[in-house]
Amino acid sequence: GAVVSQHPSWVICKSGTSVKIECRSLDFQATTMFWYRQFPKQSLMLMATSNEGSKATYEQGVEKDKFLINHASLTLSTLTVTSAHPEDSSFYICSASRTGWGNTIYFGEGSWLTVV
């Protein structure tokens, strides 16, 4: 079964509103989680690293005020897309792993966001 779970699986929101996506590690603690975005027919693009108890680290070109990341516990990271616009419509995916070199990295099922 899934060891990393995302919620919701899909969401439709109106332009200008904010939407929150959750990523949970189900049977392990993850001090670090990662958020990706994927547009149709493209590969996954890393957006940011979510660090438990500290600020997220964003990849170049990703707006930190647009994509708010909170990692308040060792099993939960949230991504909030603020003031969403149609161009933010995408497939958002998170990943997490048990701490340690060479450990398996698991991905969530993904969350489809459509902004209308």
Report which of 68, 10, 2, 11 is spatially closest to residue 35, judged by C-alpha positions. Answer: 68
Residue 104 in contact with other proteins, rule: CB under 8 A:
yes
For 116, the token pair is 């209308």
Near other proteins by CB under 8 A: residue from 6, 25, 78, 90: 6
27 part of the interface to other proteins, by CB under 8 A? no
Considering only residues 37 to 56 of the shown chain, the ones binding other proteins according to CB under 8 A are 43-46, 49
Closer CB to other proteins, 74 or 112, in the complex: 112
Output 83 or 99, the one with its CB closest to other proteins: 99
Assess 35 for contact with other proteins (CB under 8 A): no
Residue 96 sits in the site that holds other proteins (CB under 8 A)? yes
Cα–Cα distances in Å, from 94 out to 16, 27, 30, 33?
24, 16, 12, 7
Phi (first) and psi of residue 87, to 5 degrees: -70, -10
Q: Which two tokens stand for residue 109?
A: 């099922």
Q: Which tokens sit at 57? A: 């680290």
**Residues in touch with other proteins (CB under 8 A):** 6, 32, 34, 36, 43-46, 49, 91, 93, 95-97, 101-110, 112
